[in-house]
Amino acid sequence: MFGQNQRGGSGLPIKFLIALVLAGFALCKYYGTTSFNEITGEKQHIALSPEQEIALGLQSAPQMAQEMGGLSRNQQAAAIVKQVGQRIVQNSAARQTPYQYDFHLLADPRTINAFALPGGQIFITEGLLMRLSTDGQSLNEDMLAGVLGHEVGHVVARHSAERMSQMELAQGLTGAVTMATYDPSNPNMAYIAQSVANMITMKYGREQELQSDNLGVRFMLEAGYNPEYLIQVMEVLKQAAGPNRTPEFQSTHPDPENRQAEIQRAIQEWRSKLGK
């Protein structure tokens, strides 16, 4: 009858039954794909295989480079980036992974950034590279190793693939919540559901950044670099962000100050474990 909620055989409104099915499907799909990461020692819910991660990264790399001004024409600087990156990979636990690591210098002189694509494609901008110096003139390779080691950490920990699965779960649950709470007279419910999903993914982003810092310290030590310089990289990021940066609570990245404290703890931890 029009004007009344339709109900299923259980007595629940049809929309709640549909919501339960949607939520159950999303949860089963997420928790039904489990893999063990030998480097981090964690069980992860990831649908992609390493081969799919590699293919996705290789496919995305040209477009990502184009969006940030293309690859740098400074062949000497680009060669240093590749040299330091490969030294990290070949002399650390990252070598045990199946990924195809390659390191690229982007021509963008204004953006201060570095990032990793799934499968091992890693980028750093000229804008960040030019700031990795202790004397304001020459490049400090230990600081560069800190940046690249952190990005290798993202690849090894499979953060991109993990994030994709988490976002797919969040979208499925958001759809279920929207269905269950749909009310034509209160359109804000859909906004609330999406906000909850965003909070879930933001939390994971902060944890992943801290884990990559920890792995970066490990890889630097294994490759013979001084991890104390990763703390100085945080100073560079803090200065670049300025006094009006977004509060940590509202950001996927922890504040540089908090990262510095965690990095210092990681240095002590890994020096003890590795005997270095």
What's the CA gap between 229 and 231, in Å, rounded?
A: 5
Return the pLDDT at 135: 87
196-219: per-residue pLDDT in tens? 445 444 444 788 999 999 999 999
Whole-structure pTM over 0.75, yes or no? yes
Return the pLDDT at 249: 39
86-105: per-residue pLDDT in tens? 999 999 999 999 999 999 99
Return the pLDDT at 192: 46
Q: Are 34 and 161 in contact (CB under 8 A)?
A: no
- H helix runs in 122-158, sequence order: 126-129, 141-156
Cα Rg, the chain, nearest whole Å = 22
What's the CA gap between 147 and 236, in Å, rounded?
A: 11
What's the CA gap between 76 and 45, in Å, rounded?
A: 40
139-154: per-residue pLDDT in tens? 999 999 999 999 999 9
**125 φ, ψ (degrees, to nearest 5):** -85, 155
Q: Are 133 and 143 in contact (CB under 8 A)?
A: yes
DSSP state for residue 42 in the 8-state scheme: E
What's the CA gap between 230 and 199, in Å, rounded?
A: 28
Give the lowest-confidence range in 14-23, 157-166, 245-254, 265-274. Answer: 245-254
Give the lowest-confidence range in 128-132, 163-167, 183-187. Answer: 183-187
